[in-house]
Structure formats: C-alpha cells, structure tokens
Structure 1
Amino acid sequence: MGSVLFAAVFIALHFATGGLANPDAKRLYDDLLSNYNRLIRPVGNNSDRLTVKMGLRLSQLIDVEWNDYKLKWNPDDYGGVDTLHVPSEHIWLPDIVLYNNADGNYEVTIMTKAILHHTGKVVWKPPAIYKSFCEIDVEYFPFDEQTCFMKFGSWTYDGYMVDLRHLKQTADSDNIEVGIDLQDYYISVEWDIMRVPAVRNEKFYSCCEEPYLDIVFNLTLRRKTLFYTVNLIIPCVGISFLSVLVFYLPSDSGEKISLCISILLSLTVFFLLLAEIIPPTSLTVPLLGKYLLFTMMLVTLSVVVTIAVLNVNFRSPVTHRMAPWVQRLFIQILPKLLCIERPKKEEPEEDQPPEVLTDVYHLPPDVDKFVNYDSKRFSGDYGIPALPASHRFDLAAAGGISAHCFGEPPLPSSLPLPGADDDLFSPSGLNGDISPGCCPAAAAAAAAAAADLSPTFEKPYAREMEKTIEGSRFIAQHVKNKDKFESVEEDWKYVAMVLDRMFLWIFAIACVVGTALIILQAPSLYDQSQPIDILYSKIAKKKFELLKMGSENTL
C-alpha cells in the first residue's frame, strides 16, 4: 500500500514539475486562443481566399493543411517555441467531407490535436475510415480491375472563400499522378494498387454563381487471381472436360447418363458458390459465370446426344432397317477419318476344304446303324453313308465301259442334300463325277441302276435319313438367321461407337476453343504493368528485404 501511494505522489510531482517547466508554451497558448473565435474563417479580409491543402494516406489518415493568420507568433518571444499542439476543437477547421460517403458520417469523428507552426501554418492529421460508393464492374471476374473514386470538398464554403488544393499540386496543373501517400500502406492479400491519381475540379452549379472546388482521388485496383484460379477456375475447367469423357464411355456400360447428370449437379454447386462471392448485379454477367453457363450448355447438349447415341446402340433388325447411306457413311467413310479400325472377319485358308453344315452339326447317332454299308463316303463328304455292296452294280459288265469313268453311285432323287443342286442327285447327274459327253453309255447305265436302287434304298432307313437331313437344314437356317441378326445388331453398335467418337472430337474442340475464347478475353491478363504499392510502401520494402535476407541465410 505504501509503495502504491509513493508511486502516485511521484507521478503527480513529475507532471507538476513538467507543467511548470514549460511556462512559455502555456503563455503562448493563452495569448493565441484567449480571444480566438473558432467559428470565423481565419482571413484578415472577408474577400480574401483561404488556401487549404489536403492529402490522403491509405493508412486511415487524412492530411489537411492551411494558414491561420491569427495563430502566428515570434518564437523568440516565447522561449524559442516554434510549434504548439492544441485540441482541434479550439481552432477553426475546414468542413471537408466525403461527398460519396456510404457510411452516414460525412465528417471526421475522431478529433485529434492540431499542430500549430509559428508561421501560421496549421497541420491536422485525423485518422478516419471512409466508406464510399463504388460501382463494381464484374464483367471480367475474377480477372477484373476496379476503379473507385473518393470525392472530397468543402460542404459550405465556395471556391472564393476556400481554395482547396492537393498537397503535391503544382501551380500549372490540376492533375497529380500519385495522389495518395502509400508509405505506410500494408500490402493487401486480395488486391493490387495499380494507380492512385488525383484531380482538382472547379465546378459551377446552376443554383449558385460561385464555383465549388473538390478533389477526386481515383483508386485503380486489380484483383489477385491465385485464390480464384485454384478454387474456382481449375475445378470448372476439369468438370467441363469431364463432359467430353462421357463419349468415351461405352454405351453398354449403362453409366453415361448418370455421369452427365453428376457433372450437371457439380456445375450447379459452383454456380451457388459464385453467387455468394460476387456482388449481385444485373448489368453484366461475370466472366466465370459465362464459362459456367457455357459448360452447362455443353453438358446439357451431351445428355441429349448421349440419349440419341444410346437409341442407335440398342437398335435391332426387328425395329429398324439400316439405310444404305447410313451404312456407307458410318461404317465405311467416317471410321477412316476418325481413326477407328474395325477388326476384319477371319477367312478360311485356301488349302483347307470348305466347311459344310454336317461338319459342324453331325447327324444323329442312329446313322451308326448302317453297319452293313461300305465305309466310303460320297464325293463332297455330305455325311451320308454309301450304299451297301449288294446294291452296287458293275457298270463295266452292264455296258462294257471301264470303271474309271464313274465316281461313287448317286443317291436317289427323292433324297436331296442340303446346299446342293437338285440336278446333282438326278439319275443324269451322277453326283457330278460323270460328264455327259464323256461316257454316254455309262450315264444310261447309271440311270437304270439308280431307278432300280430307289425302292431298295428306302427300306428301311431312307425315311429316317430324310428327317435327319431336314432337321439339319432347319438348324442351318436358324444359325444363319441368328448370325445375320447379330451381324446387323453389331453394325448398329458400331454406328453408335462411331457417333460417340465423332462427338468426342467435336466436344473436345468446343471445350478447348470455348475455354480459350472466354477466359482469355480478360484485359488484365495482357496488362504487364506492376502494382505501385510495392514501389512506394516502406512496409512492403522491409518485408521483401527480410524475405531476401532469410533466403540468403538459408542458402
């Protein structure tokens, strides 16, 4: 308790001693403000023009300077005191406000002290946070540049009373290239400051004859795009190219429509995210919104095309007949242009005998009953056993003709073989082994023998063989029809595959060209100018120096 009391007494004595040690400043303050009226404009003559200079810093500070003739003194008369800090409420202040204010407080709310110089110069640097109206142009979002302005001017004094000028303004120009002080500016992680010009305007309004002065500070900001590129643009581009892969998915997989709908839902989620990021405006569609709309149109069109391709893929000869131009265009011409090679059907080798039906579909086992038949087969190997030896005839004995003119005895004409000519089994045909011009006598003898064999051959297995051959013929026709049916189905599937490949190339080209045309139309992508906040900010320079020193120490 005693130590606390001692500290309080020490502080009180310290302040008392400090106050008594500066009597000149107290006397100066009393002399300057004893008869000072803060409500009157500080000019010697009412017709005189008071010059007020102002500047702006992007560190929540506004600089205002003017000369007050009533606040001049001789430093020698006051112990060498050349500056004095006084409360700003005790002196005259210019009523400079932000015209395009969006907050409601047009004036500075925190009244800091003003600095008085012996020459009459008054410097006032109040901290202020201004919120102004700014028209946001989101046409090229997220590769956009925004230009906002802040218009400052006197609220009650016209141009004849208060001459408002910029701190860095010259006498021959009203334009200032760098109108905002950026020395104490902290680098933003979202925006780059490109230009900060200022211009002094003198306007005449219809209501008044006097001019009114204002200073407009323009801020040109460029958005940093890394965040939006990683989180919005790259996913959108990836999703748009997924719509191309829909046509690479086989039609028989059954997942083409599901993939299209999933991509469409993903784009809808990105649309909702974009609506939360950008300010709501109906003046223009943002660049990213255009790209999302373009991608949604592609995906929607891919759904329609996929449905059409699936319809072609599942066609059959029962429901559709393939037109000749379709077969020529999609089976012969387009596959060559799209680099699609259809496997060719394997053809039998020339040295192998042609396959016949009974080589694949053998006759029933009942044929083995013909045990008394000779093991020889008829020429052509139709799978029908030869006649028994008792039914053979000696053509040489009958007609005196050598046996080498003849082949095997023919079948009766009542038992035609599948795939053979009818006259092949006629008595005059003799199975193709006897030429009519070669041995006429042999032909006559063979015909007589065939007529004699017919009733004997039908007893007892001829009818059973007829049924067997008819069944084989039915099976052959069924297999032939089935192969033809499957061949037409495969042609439709191949047409669907050609359509898929064609639309894959079309949509791939559309995605690449559309992405380039939409994204690359942003002007900021071609602007190589460097931001000025890095050049003028002392804080940024110190930061880069520290980073450079750290990298050098690491190496």
Structure 2
Amino acid sequence: MTWLGLLFVVCSLMTGTEGTLFENELLKDMFANYNPIIRPVLNASASIQVRLGAALQQIIEMDEKNQVLTVNLWMRMQWTDRNFHWDPADYGGTDTLIVPINSIWRPDIVLYTNADSGFSGMMETNAAITNTGIVYWNAPAIYTSTCKIDVSFFPFDEQRCPLKFGSWAYNGFQIDLVNRSLSGDISAYIDNGEWELIGMPVRNNIAYYLCCVAPYPDVTFTIVMRRRPLFYMFNLLVPCMLISLITVLDFYLPADSGEKVTLGITILLALIVFLLLVAETMPPTSEVVPLIGQYYLATIVLVSASTGMTVFVLYLHYRLPGTKPVPSWLRSLAFNYIARILCLSSTIKVAPAPQSPEVIENNHLSNGNVHTDKSYKTNENNISTVTLPPLVSERFQRNVNSILDELKFMTNRTKDSDVEEEILTEWKYVAMVFDRLFMWIFLITTIVTTVGILCQPKPYTLREDL
C-alpha cells in the first residue's frame, strides 16, 4: 500500500470518529433530562399535531366469509418534539439524529377497526429527528381489519374497506391528528390476483363518544377495490349457462325415449350443487341476495318449470286406448295457431276430425244392416234358382248369418282400431306442438333472465372521496 492510500484511510477513520463523537455529544445533550412518557409541549394545554400517512404495499387476504381484510401498510408519522432543537454548527453539521422509537415520546396511534386478537401494531423501527424538532417515523405493519362486505353484485362487486386510525388515550385537545395527504400512497402497490385496487382516499374525522366529553380525531384510509370476475365466470357462471343450454336439449328428446324427466331432474341437481359452492364463499347474511345467487335461483326456477312443462307434454303424449278425441278448441289452438307460428305445419299430417264413438257405432250398424239385407237378397235369388231341401236351407241360412256376424264384428273392430290410432296420433301431434312451444318459451325466458340479472348497473362510478 502506498503512502497516499494509507493517508486516505487514516483521514477517513478520523473523519468518521469525529462524526461519531459529535453524535454522541448530541445524544447526551438532547437526552440529558428527557422523559419519553411526557408529551413534548411547552404548555400542558397545547396540543401536538400528528400528521399520519400510509402507503399500501399489498392486499394479503380478503376473507369474505368472516368479513376481514388483511393488508400490508407502510405507516408514516410526523410530529414536532419541543425537546429537540439544536444548531447543526455546534455538532459538526449534524442536522439529523437517528434514535430508537422507544427512546422518545410517540403518539399511541392504533387501528380502531382491528380484527386481530394479538393487536400487533407497527414494527419498532428507528425514528429520524431533525435539528428543528420534527420527528419522522416510518414503520411497516400488517393489519387485520374488519370490513363489511357488500355482496349484492358478486362476482362483479366493489368493496370499500375503511381503516380507522386514532389515538387511544389522548383526546383531540392533546393530539391533533390530521392526514398528510388526500390519498394514500399506492405507487409501490403489488397487484393482487383477485382484487383490482381502485384507490385509497383519506379522510380526517372528529368523533364524540359517550364515555368522554372531549373530541377524538381519527384518520380513515378507505381501500377501494374491485373484484376480478374472470375466475368466478369461468368456474361458476359459464357452467351454469351451459347447463341452461343443455336444458333446451331436453325439449328435443322424443317423448318415447323416457329420459325427458330424468334429464331435467339431473340438471336441477347439478345447479343445486353449484349453488352450494357459491354459498360456501359468501358471508352468511340475510340482508341482500348476491347477483350470482339471483342468477342461480332464477335458473333453478326455470329448470323446475321446464320439468313441469315436460310432464305436461308427456301427459298429452301418452294416452290409453279408448280416450276421447282432441277437443275442437285445443285442436284449433295447436294446429291452426301455434303450429303455424312455429312453422310446424309442414311436419304435421292432420287428419279430419274423427267422429264421436256413438256416431261411429251407428254408422257401423247401418252398414252392417245394409250388407245383411243385400246378402239376404242374394240368398233369396239363389234360393229361387236353386231348390234345396227345407232342413238344408235352414242350416245354410244359419251358417251364412254366423259368418256375416263375424265379418261385421271384425270390420267394426278394424275400423274402431283405426279411429283410435288416429286419435292417439293426433294427441301425439298436439304434445309435439306444445313441446316445441315450451322450448321457445324456456329459451327466450332464459336469455332475458340472464341479460337482466347479469347486466344490472354496477356501482363502478368513482365517488366524491376518490
């Protein structure tokens, strides 16, 4: 090492030692008669102005079920201590003194909305004191605060969580607590995956409590944040929409498949399971119904109604033999109006209105009598041309009459079966028309309900305190 380097090291050490000596002397002079318990004021009736600020670093957790918010803040305080005042020229130019916070007086600022059982406050960091007596104390802290959650528009909600700070022992005549700025510092904020920070307005309030006559000022930092809805849309809303669309397919299932009611009940159970998942994340409140809860409830009602519609369609479709024909008013409503509106006229082959069973029976009897009369006339002609013995003629006549009766019975049975088949087919066409009508009613109602509930105006406007 050269002599020039050695000289530089010695000068540096001497300068550092001299600075340490000046600070040591300053500490002895300032703390000679100092008491950290007594308020540092010249007059006991005077108040100390404490300026409070905060910088939001991170939203650690938002517990909606317990309505608790945990955040990481950098607290910033400033006040004037009348005991500290010196001329920097007397102490080698030392204009700032760094001391432990426990060695000086400090205001007992606590979080009024604290929800932590340990009441852990700010970290015991050092404070900086200037030669004019101004004390700067910056300390990080993790606070757990109560926050009333408004889930009216969940998952498109916006929450406002106030953090109320104030002195616990000193009243407004002893400590004048004011805010350092109109908003908190969010320049170093770390983004949260679930919440988007909108702002952090600050407001100074003066409160009067029943226990005391004196006022108690406080500074309230309001953390305004908006939920990021992508997670809930992907895991809760989209599945519900898809399930609603699957319900539409229930109306396309043929009634003969026997799965229409089963599919509707399965969809209903799936919606109830998703609704239970939503209820687990929400605070148990009876004040409001969340937006997603309204949507799920409306969807469950619609799916239940679709199941009832399906039962009605199956009631029309499955008819026992011997049932009455379709009433004229229902026939006209289904085929002349609904089928034409839904463009189903080309797919339905409507037969003429069948006659009542009494008319059909009378027609059959009249036709049988005519046929019998002709047979007898034929028999009479044959008998006139063919001479048979009386006994043979009588037996032949009985056989012919028996055969004619059997033919008449079979003819009537076939005609009755055809009429019944036409009646049952017509009931099935009526069921198909109403099934398609219910499908469109369900689809339109589902779309209107989804748009009406999910597109409600949200409270996203910036308020006056922002």
Shorter chain as normaliser: what TM range? 0.7 to 0.9
Amino acid aligned to 1:483: D
How far apart, in 1, do the equivalents of 2:368 and 2:177 lie? Answer: 115
Residue 213 (structure 1) aligns with = 217
- Pick the aligned partner of 2:262 from 242, 247, 258: 258
- Classify the secondary structure of the residue corresponding to 1:330: helix
Does structure 1 residue 485 correspond to structure 2 residue 417? no
SS of 1:56's equivalent? strand
Residue 185 of structure 2 is matched in structure 1 by 181
Contact preservation (8 Å) 1:25, 1:84: yes
Tell me if structure 2 keeps the 8 A contact 1:24–1:78: yes
* 8 Å contact from structure 1 (residues 96, 107) kept in 2: no
Rounded to whole Å, the distance in 2 between the matches of 1:268 and 1:19 is 76
Q: Is the 8 A contact 1:98 1:153 kept in 2?
A: yes
Which residue in the other structure is 2:89 paired with?
A: 76
Distance 1:201 1:21 in 2: 44
Instruction: Give the equivalent residue in structure 1 for 2:330.
Output: 326
Instruction: Report the Cα distance in structure 2 between the residues aligned to 1:422 and 1:461, rounded to whole angstroms.
Output: 15
How far 1:421 sits from its partner (Å)? 6.1
Q: Which whole-Å CA distance do the structure 1 matches of 2:283 and 2:100 have between them? A: 42
Quote the offset at 1:522 in angstroms.
Answer: 4.3
Kindly indicate whether the alpha-carbon contact (under 8 Å) linking 2:317 and 2:431 is maintained by their aligned counterparts in 1: yes
**If the length of structure 2 is used for normalisation, what is the TM-score?**
0.81
1:391-410 Cα offsets, whole Å, 9 max, x none, are xxxxxxxxxxxxxxxxxxxx
2:349 matched to which residue of 1? 344
Counterpart of 2:125 in structure 1 is 112
> Given the two structures, how large is their TM-score scaled by the length of structure 1?
0.68
SS of 1:70's partner is coil
CA distance in 1, matches of 2:372, 2:208: 117
CA gap of 1:470–1:240, structure 2 versus 1, over 3 A, is same
Which of the residues 134, 145, 158 maps onto 1:121? 134
Partner of 1:513: 448
> CA RMSD of the aligned region, Å?
3.3
Query: 1:148, 1:220 within 8 Å by CA — same for their partners in 2?
Result: yes
Q: Which residue of structure 1 lines up, in the alignment, with residue 252 of structure 2?
A: 248
Alignment of 1:309-458 (within 5 A): 309-341=313-345, 342-344=347-349, 452-455=384-387
Alpha-carbon contact 1:165-1:215 (below 8 Å) kept: yes
The residue type paired with residue 514 of structure 1 is T
Cα pair distance change 1:62/1:468, threshold 3 Å: same
Larger-Rg structure: 1
1:60-85 Cα shifts (integer Å, max 9, x gaps): 21000011121122111111111121
**TM-aligned CA deviation for residue 20 of structure 1:** 7.0
What is the match of residue 60 of structure 2? none
Q: 1:225 to 1:336 in 2, by over 3 A?
A: same
1:289 deviates by: 0.8
Q: CA-to-partner distance for each residue in 1:318-351, whole Å, 9 max, x for gaps?
A: 245533322232234321222212443899xxxx
What residue is the counterpart of 1:34 in the other structure? 32
- DSSP-derived class of the 1:104 partner: coil
Paired-residue identity, %: 40
Deviation at residue 465 of structure 1 after TM alignment: 7.9
Find the aligned partners of 2:412 and 2:145 in 1 and give their Cα distance.
89
Partner residue, 1:52:
50
Assess if the C-alpha contact under 8 Å between 2:81 and 2:133 holds in 1: yes
Residue of structure 2 in register with 1:304 after alignment: 308
User: What amino acid is aligned across from residue 477 of structure 1 in structure 2?
Assistant: N
Contact 1:99/1:106 (<8 A) preserved: no
For structure 2, the 5+ residue unaligned runs are: 1-11, 58-72, 353-366
Contact map agreement 2:171 2:217 (CA 8 A) in 1: yes
Question: Cα–Cα, structure 1 residues 419 and 510, in superposed 2: closer, same or farther, change >3 Å?
Answer: farther
Structure 1 distance, partners of 2:75, 2:164, is 13
- 1:135/1:148 contact within 8 Å kept: yes
Structure 1: how far apart are the matches of 2:434 and 2:349?
20
Q: Secondary structure of the residue that 1:216 maps to in structure 2?
A: strand
Give 3-state SS (helix, strand or coil) of 1:215's partner: strand
Corresponding residue for residue 225 of structure 1: 229
Q: Cα deviation per residue 1:236-295 (whole Å; 9 max; x = unaligned)?
A: 122123223322211111001110111011112101210222222222111111111111
The question of whether the paired residues in 2 share the 8 Å contact of 1:87 and 1:113 is answered with: yes
Q: In 1, Cα distance between the equivalents of 2:351 and 2:310?
A: 33
Asked if the contact 1:97/1:155 (under 8 Å) is kept, the reply is yes
Query: Which secondary structure state, in structure 1, belongs to the residue aligned with residue 144 of structure 2?
Result: coil
> In the alignment, is the contact (CA less than 8 A) between 2:76 and 2:136 conserved in 1?
yes
The code of the aligned residue for 1:228 comes to Y
Question: Is the 1:260–1:303 contact (alpha carbons within 8 Å) kept by the matching residues of 2?
Answer: yes
Structure 1 CA distance, aligned partners of 2:14 and 2:320?
109
* One-letter identity of the residue aligned with 2:132: T
Residue equivalent to 1:350: none
> How far, CA to CA, are the matches of 2:252 and 2:175 in structure 1?
75
Q: What SS does the corresponding residue of 2:206 show, helix, strand or coil?
A: strand
Which amino acid counterpart does residue 433 of structure 2 have in structure 1?
Answer: V
Which of 167, 180, 185 is equivalent to 1:154? 167
Deviation at 1:316, TM superposition (A): 2.7
The aligned counterpart of 1:164 is 177
Structure 1 spans left out of the alignment, 5+ residues: 1-13, 169-175, 348-416, 431-446, 534-555
Contact 2:295 2:450 (C-alpha < 8 Å) held by counterparts: yes
Please list the CA deviations of residues 457-490 of structure 1 after superposition, one character each: whole Å capped at 9, or x if unmatched: x999999887776655544333322211211111
Q: Report deviation, 1:106.
A: 4.4
Letter in 1 for 2:206: E
Which deviations, in whole Å up to 9, do the C-alpha atoms of 1:472-531 show, x marking residues without a partner?
55443333222112111111111111121121121112111111221112415xx4779x
User: Of 410, 428, 431, which residue of structure 2 is paired with 1:496?
Assistant: 431
- Separation (CA, whole Å) in 2 of partners of 1:476 and 1:421: 12
Deviations 1:168-227 (A, max 9, x none): 2xxxxxxx2xx2100111111111222322111123445444322111122221111111
Q: Answer yes or no: is the 8 Å Cα contact 2:19–2:92 preserved in 1.
A: no
CA distance in 2, matches of 1:515, 1:345: 38
Q: Greater CA deviation, 314-323 or 506-515?
A: 314-323
Q: Which stretch of the first structure deviates more once superposed, 305-314 or 229-238?
A: 305-314
**Whole-angstrom CA distance in 2 between matches of 1:194 and 1:339:** 53
Distance 1:16 1:494, change over 3 A: farther
Does structure 1 conserve the Cα–Cα contact (< 8 Å) formed by 2:120 and 2:143? Answer: no
Among 156, 163, 166, the alignment partner of 1:143 is: 156
Q: What is aligned with 1:239?
A: 243
Q: Does 1:476 find its partner at 2:411?
A: yes
Q: Which amino acid aligns with 2:89?
A: D
Name the one with the larger strand percent: 2
